[in-house]
Structure 1
């Protein structure tokens, strides 16, 4: 069973993450805080893979890859890994319990039989973001120019800019607490116009989405932790802290984003 100090995160996907080591950080401080890896980041992970009966089937102390459909060797990166590592930050250690449907399913793999639940002890040793840096720097410059003369802007050490528009008195969420938010999302276009791609959406925990800060794009994952229940804020996100090279409805790859967010409720993570 988990130790009392462990953080147990039961994700709506079916993956359970038991966090045993988590670097301390201050989201309101003057230093960068650790972030989850994006699909294009090169990451280095130590891991041990076991079956439910305790049989070890694989291990590597320093496995380097990207969270894409295939790793550097052309092997599939299972969906459960993508989900688990996507909720972890550099320096974190955790045990991930992965349902068979998010592992090798009915086909199995090597010594792993069909329909096997897998357990991975994971150590996210390093996240290399160097491939994002050139565009990240350009995007921050564009956003800074766009906001020139705007009052009450704050540039976070991790590279996004925010404005707290109203201050609530409620709780501030941890990365793994569950939140209900109302938000409008806009693309910041090259001509300095804004195009709405989602408006006044209220999002809370549902059976397919846990709605933790860790489940949102990186800029919002950090931004939500800056807010108190009842706060309203506006966030200006460089593309790497948004959808990056990915896309979503109304958002093309490498788009800078603007989010107007109201934090409606905070529910502590139930372990």
Structure 2
């Protein structure tokens, strides 16, 4: 699985009763305000998570140190008992991937193509930051949203027209927290995000479980956080990976096309 290939539940519980859908649906503006308020509150995140990358028959997972600052900065360190075996940084302009055993740093622009190199999902860096912060990808609406009952899954469904199609966000009927979203990426592909296991952390409800997958037949990323710190000050230099003596530099776009660095 691209770069991840080089670096790297049991139990049954009775199902909880599903909350009933309310007789009167909340207004679209109210649901959107819930997401906007959460976006304003999630000014940064620092924590540990088990992240697994799945594509076709491949599955690789490990413990990561995660740091995120919206709208488009993040740092992921793939951890081992001997320290970090890989580091991914994005400062909103450049995406860098350092692989310890290769003694090489791959660099490319902060684009969806660069993200695809190590995740298998062609999503923009702002979407990566939003999802790691426990939020749906942010999109500008091009028309009026609508709210409907999704009886099949027992959730409130908001449909918002956006450039290139329609973004859909599902909300829990009791808490009205976002629990899933589907966002078109172009070329018939859709990014499905699921947000689960909400806990109150630093006064904010945050989902410790986050799943991303590409519909119809793309890869999947599963994130399982330990309770993170939200809203702490983060040093800006964490999001850029410096050139290191003795470490080869390679262009990420050449890696993707199979050319020699």
TM-score relative to the length of structure 1: 0.26
Higher RCO structure, 1 or 2 (CA under 8 Å, sep 6+):
2
Q: TM-score, normalised by structure 2?
A: 0.26
